[in-house]
Amino acid sequence: MTKESGIGYLGSEFLLWLFWKSATDEKMSLNNLGLGEISVLIEDSITLASVTGDGYCETIKSQDITSLPSVRESIKLGRLPEAAKIKISSNELEWTFQVKATPFKISGVKLPITGEKNENEMISSRLLAMTKFELIMKALFNTFLIEREMPDFIEDIKDFLGISD
């Protein structure tokens, strides 16, 4: 097992967790990390790939991904998120970006437009927005890792997906 393939599943699990949280929680609190409340949404598209190795992959596009029964059904059939377009909102700031599970990476980050007219203020605001985005993403991933170790984690996701034992 190579280093890459050994940790590849965490990207898909993180995207599944983000899908779950965006479908069930309006806001997530990161107050314990000084980041306030944020909103996380899967926006416009999600790509699901089979975990059985059969090569099946589908991209579902919709304005309301989290409410589509077909996404949950596909996950129940053994397909995990491979990529998704995400929107995070915090106060007046909003970021949209793409997350890919394998290799785990974030791309195409669209920074918030803050409206400053002075070039120095605009640069400063954009740098602060990039820093806050980085902190939020680290906090989200750490929160995911902590929740993933909770005893009820798997049962809670199964309940969300409608999977019975």
Give pLDDT tens digits for 77-99.
Answer: 889 999 999 999 998 899 999 99
pLDDT for res 60: 92
pLDDT for res 3: 40
pLDDT for res 7: 53
Confidence of residue 165 (pLDDT cuts 50, 70, 90): low
Give the per-residue SS3 of the chain.
Answer: CCHHHHHCHHHHHHHHHHHHHHHHCCCEECHHHCCCEEEEEEEEEEEEEECCCCCCEEEEEECCHHHCHHHHHHHHCCEEEEEEEEEEEECCEEEEEEEECCCCEEEEEECCCCCCCCHHHHHHHHHHHHHHHHHHHHHHHHHHHHHHCCCCHHHHHHHHHCCCC
Which whole number is the average pLDDT over 91-115?
A: 91
Task: Give the predicted TM-score (pTM) of the model.
Answer: 0.87
Which whole number is the average pLDDT over 18-27?
A: 87
Residue type, 143: T
Domain ranges across the chain: 3-161
Centre a 10 Å sphere on the Cβ of residue 113 and count the other Cβ atoms it contains.
12
Contact, 23 vs 75, CB < 8 A? no
pLDDT for res 132: 92
